A = this chain, B = another copy of it.
Amino acid sequence: MPRPRAFDERQVLERAREQFWATGYAGTRMDDIAQATGLGKGSLYGAFGDKGKLFHRVFGDWCTAVVEVAEGRLAGGPDAEALARLSGYVHLMAENTASDTERRGCLLAKGAAELAQHDPTVAGRSAETMTALLTLLRTEISAAQRHGDIDSAADPERLAALLLTVVRGIEAVGKAGLDPETLRNIADTALAVLPMPEGQKRLATGRSPAREN
């Protein structure tokens, strides 16, 4: 009956995300998005509402993706490899920031910085994302403790919060201008200082540690 849409919604959202990511919410014009997607303004507004709704959609999808990446790296697997999974995740996040030569940073951080204060939707979604990441990290830390790779006297909740803070902090100091090599070192160091069980030797925190994956 009706005329069907001539565009792929996912693709449009992708282009819109690129724009918001590159120039922030206030800094991107709807005309930019129209141009980038090839859509006319009428179609854009007809399909997504207004600028705010479109951003919420993009922001929400991004948050979902952030959690999915973490799930892909962390969730599931034998306890014996839990520490390796944690290490892989933290290093992956550091590498993402280190290789972000355009200094775009993370849309989650950027959006939260710009809008969380005044936009309850953004604030709520970012908070949800944080707690989801916390849960994933805590689960993995508990697994590593069961296998004896992390001191079981430590509170997994607290270590999870610390690792989350380091991951998000790497993003922040990266955007603030620290060089890629330093960012990678931070990931190393954060993993190296995790408390080992009594009597077990801790990983190197010295000047030339072999980077273990």
Contact = CB atoms under 8 A, between A and B. Distances in A.
A169 interface: yes
Given A117-B102, A127-B178, A185 B161 contact: yes
How many copies of this chain does the complex contain?
2
Nearest to A25: B26
Interface stretch (A34-42, A46-54, A103-111): A103-111
B173 A205 contact: no
Contacts of A124: 177
Contacts of A24: 26, 114
A56 B58 CA distance: 30
A129 interface: yes
Main secondary structure of the interface of A (DSSP, over half): helix
A129 B158 CA distance: 29
A170 B165 contact: yes
The CB with the most chain B CB atoms within 10 A, among A126, A176, A190, is that of A176
A195 interface: yes
Nearest to A126: B176
Contacts of A195: 193, 202, 205
Interface residues of A, number: 59
Contacts of A166: 162, 165-166, 169
Given A151-B205, A154-B205, A205-B195, A162 B190 contact: yes
Nearest to A185: B158
A92 to B, nearest CB: 16
Interface string A121-142: 0011011011000000000000
A206 B161 contact: no
A30 to B, nearest CB: 15
Contact of A177 (B109, B116, B162, B171): B116
